[in-house]
Amino acid sequence: DAGVIQSPRHEVTEMGQEVTLRCKPISGHDYLFWYRQTMMRGLELLIYFNNNVPIDDSGMPEDRFSAKMPNASFSTLKIQPSEPRDSAVYFCASRHTSTNYGYTFGSGTRLTVV
Amino acid sequence: DQQVKQNSPSLSVQEGRISILNCDYTNSMFDYFLWYKKYPAEGPTFLISISSIKDKNEDGRFTVFLNKSAKHLSLHIVPSQPGDSAVYFCAAAVRTDKLIFGTGTRLQVFP
């Protein structure tokens, strides 16, 4: 298995632009998580899905952030409009129900908003 | 509010010595704790875990200790090796709910 695949690896965008981050979870995994890593807050959970349904989005910072999972093999995290304070590394992780804490993380997308 | 805290942003240890990384939590409902390791440009990977019914779990050079009364856990690495240099994240969960991570501690092991 190729693991959790995130794209792009790096994204540089101007303030006010829309940014879309993509994630392909491991085949068969029924949970998908979006985390954001910053120096101040560490790894911060933004939202997670179970069987493509959003379960908890309480970590989404504000309405500028949205996430979708249209099918079991694809999820997006969108920021519109982007702001410099959104600059961070965004990680996607997935797991199977049978492995309660067996999260597999992708390599992350480093987002820079200038 | 940070439910899982790692108060030391960095730690430097000589090769062969013990590395001790600390983590504190505030939510007494947490019943499962984990440590993840992260190398630059990679995602975090699972290292070791402990259930709240235990106070110690060992896996090779890595041992995690849990002190529930103090709401504190620690990761011991003995002996430390240069390849252990990475960022270590502490994480906690209530049953099988979402993992809550700390801010991380950067460990540097020098020769």
Cβ(B33)–Cβ(B52) under 8 Å? Answer: yes
Q: What would the mean pLDDT of A20-49 be, rounded to a whole number?
A: 95
Q: What would the mean pLDDT of A83-90 be, rounded to a whole number?
A: 96
Which chain B residue shows the shortest CA-CA distance from A38? B103
Distance CA B88, CA B13 (A): 14
Give the pLDDT of residue A45: 94
Q: Which residues contact B4 (CB under 8 A, 6 or more apart)?
A: B23, B24, B25, B26, B90, B91, B92, B100, B101, B102
Query: Which pLDDT tens digit goes with each residue over B87-100?
Result: 999 999 987 678 99
Helix/strand/coil for B82: helix
Any chain A CB within 8 A of the CB of B41?
Answer: yes
Cβ(B38)–Cβ(B104) under 8 Å? Answer: yes
Angle CA A69–A25–A60, to nearest 5: 50
Which chain A residue shows the shortest CA-CA distance from B106? A39
Q: What would the mean pLDDT of A7-36 be, rounded to a whole number?
A: 97
Give B77→chain A minimum CA distance, Å: 22
Say whether B2 and A41 touch across the interface (CB within 8 A): yes
Say whether B93 and A101 touch across the interface (CB within 8 A): yes
Distance CA A47, CA B43 (A): 17
Cβ(B23)–Cβ(B109) under 8 Å? Answer: no
Angle CA B45–B51–B56, to nearest 5: 90
Give the pLDDT of residue A1: 65
Sheet holding A19-24, edge to edge: A5-7, A19-24, A74-79, A65-71
Comparing CB atoms, the residue among B45, B49, B101 nearest residue A43 is B101
Say whether B96 and A93 touch across the interface (CB within 8 A): no
Sheet holding B4-5, edge to edge: B4-5, B19-25, B72-77, B62-67, B56-59
Query: Which pLDDT tens digit goes with each residue over A41-77?
Result: 899 999 999 999 999 999 998 899 999 999 999 999 9
